[in-house]
Amino acid sequence: MPEPIRLARRVVELLGCSRSEAEQYIEGGWVTVDGEIVETPQHPVTDERVDIDPAAELRIAEPATLLLHKPAGVAWQDAAALATPATRLPDDDSGVRALKRHLQRLTPLVPLDTEASGLMVLSQDGRVWRKLTEDYAQIEQEFVVEIRGNVHPYTLGRIGHASSYQGRGLAPCKVSWQNEVRLRFAIKDVQPGELRHRCREGGLDVVSIRRLRIGRISLSKLPLGQWRYLPAGERF
């Protein structure tokens, strides 16, 4: 049996390209070894069949950002574990070509209460991390909160103008009735537990919380537990 060599070297031999170009083809998911896509240039090969997709494009694999509909009961810090090939939205029309590497080293961003469901951002992109971390206090989020309790004329005023939470002053937020049992919040710099606190200030108990939007990015019709890619060009 011949000595193993790096997959990138085999691609160089097959295409007559440079090593850096071979690595880009591999990392872009264009190369198969015995019919299986391999994305690591250092993968050892001997006499296996190596093929390059005829539609291969020479481009650097960009870091990915995923949008996930997190179920209630999952801590937001653990949400990346829900992103698997099986849970990708079947009709994802983002235009992003799926790669195995896109499901690795994902950082959950924009905290969401464990008991809440809704939009989560999982990203490998440092630019997205900086935007959602450094500008967090300026990015508006939208929530629907199901409540129970007695409603009074002052209820919305107390909820929208709660003065403080855990020793921290609160800015006013926009809150309105979606229907007789659901409130709709548009709020910035929201802290864990804050929505429940605001509802208690209005004499209401929270049944459920769902995040619909972060900045300009919405949950849309993404089913519970599934994810899709953030398309190139869309911004929070």
What is d(CA 39, CA 97) in angstroms, rounded to the nearest whole number? 13
Residue 148, helix vs strand vs coil: strand
As assigned by CATH, the class of the 5-52 domain is: alpha beta
Domain 65-136+217-229 and domain 140-214, same fold? Reply is yes
The percent of residues above 90 in pLDDT, for the chain, comes to: 91
Question: Pick from 47, 26, 2, 1: which is nearest to 11 by CA?
Answer: 26
CATH number of 65-136+217-229: 3.30.70.580
Architecture of domain 140-214: 2-Layer Sandwich (3.30)
Q: Please provide the size of the chain in residues.
A: 236
Per-residue DSSP letters for 181-206? TEEEEEEES--TTHHHHHHHHTT-EE
Q: Kindly report, residue by residue over 31-85, the tens digit of the pLDDT.
A: 999 999 999 999 999 999 999 999 998 988 789 999 999 999 999 999 999 999 9
Parse the chain into domains and list their residue ranges: 5-52, 65-136+217-229, 140-214
